[in-house]
Amino acid sequence: MADLLDAIRDGEALPATGTAHGHVRLADGSLARTAYAHDGDSAAATRLATQAEAFRHLAPAGRTPKLRDIVQPQPGLPGGALIVDFVEGRPPRLPDELPALADTLARLHALPLPAASSLIPRQKNPFLETLEAVELNAMRFLDKAVPDSGARAEIAEELRLMRGMALAFAQRRQPLSIALADTHPGNFIVDATGLAWFVDLEKVHVGSPAIDLAHATLATSTLWHPDIDRLLSRDEVQRFYDLYLDKVGKKRAVELQPWLLPMRRLTWLRTTLFMARWRVQTRSPRDVSDSAQWSDAGLEPRMKAHIDAAIERCFDRDFVRAVRAEWL
């Protein structure tokens, strides 16, 4: 363990572009994913073990880095670290490499579900459980984060419509799979052969694959990373969905079809309220009683400035209306 700690300290710190992890290239060519945490975070070890299990479970698909070792949380490294293979490549180019993302998602979603005893979280009703999380973030952060009353009204109206939809969907059985839950294109790396690797397994759970399709193509996702920063047209989004549905087969496509648009709308709310929480909590003084408070202290200035600008854009009234026009 001491050797790994020394290797991390002596490694090459890569630009900090993620909100939950730092990355250090080690001398042996592997990568240390150092989890951000505050000293004394009692949940850090469990989060690390859950992510390790996700790396192991997804490995057979051949589209995620291989887990090599685990460094437990300790003084100087309060979140611990996972040692994984380093994937050589670059961010995907949109829209040209959307087919590679669709292929990777189809392969990962086709994996068998983890055992009931697994640490990987499991949703029974992804629509209702995601809506509950959205509601909580809306209650805590919407008014503080979005100064434009018109934009707030648009978001609140969409949330109201989702509540009504939840009543209709409450008893419907939703198809489940491994869900990655953070599939903005900046979390993929395209290698020299054109394969898209998904590299951020922090939020993996059993849930709705439709969330991942939405998250990969919504404006709130494609604008998030400075090396992506592109809006997709409706035709480009539709082609992505068509490619994915073709890959998963007719039976699965028919099961998923009724859920694609509802989960897309809900995922837009989820990502929008994620931005609201990010804006409020990163601008607030550190609350030592709240171990779940987010911080942007580790981000490189370029990434921080880009995220701030992207959030400002996504909270613009006309932008919100343009996004909702896709389904209204």
pTM of the full structure: 0.95
3-state secondary structure of 203: coil
Do 77 and 1 contact (CB within 8 A), yes or no? no
Cα separation, 208 vs 124, whole angstroms: 10
Does pLDDT of 270 surpass 80? yes
Cα separation, 263 vs 269, whole angstroms: 10
CATH class (in words) of the domain with range 2-84: alpha beta
Does pLDDT of 110 surpass 70? yes
Average the pLDDT over 308-314 and give the result: 97
**Dihedral of the alpha carbons of 295, 301, 94, 112, in degrees to the nearest 10:** -30
- CA nearest to 183, candidates 219, 223, 212: 212
Query: What's the whole-number average pLDDT of the chain?
Result: 93
Does pLDDT of 1 surpass 60? no
Query: pLDDT tens digits for 133-145?
Result: 999 999 999 999 9
pLDDT the model gives residue 172: 87
Lowest mean pLDDT among 83-97, 133-147, 224-238, 298-312: 298-312
- CA nearest to 157, candidates 172, 142, 175: 142
Residue ranges matching CATH 3.90.1200.10 in the chain? 98-324
pLDDT the model gives residue 156: 97
Tokens found for residue 277: 């929480």
Indicate the pLDDT class of residue 2, thresholds 50, 70 and 90: low
Query: pLDDT tens digits for 38-52?
Result: 777 888 999 999 999
Residue ranges matching CATH 3.30.200 in the chain? 2-84
pLDDT the model gives residue 75: 87
pLDDT the model gives residue 318: 97
Q: Which CATH architecture has domain 98-324?
A: Alpha-Beta Complex (3.90)
Alpha helices in the chain, H assignment, sequence order: 2-10, 44-58, 98-109, 126-137, 143-145, 149-169, 209-217, 219-222, 234-248, 250-282, 301-314, 317-324
Average the pLDDT over 83-103 and give the result: 97
Query: pLDDT tens digits for 217-228?
Result: 999 999 999 999
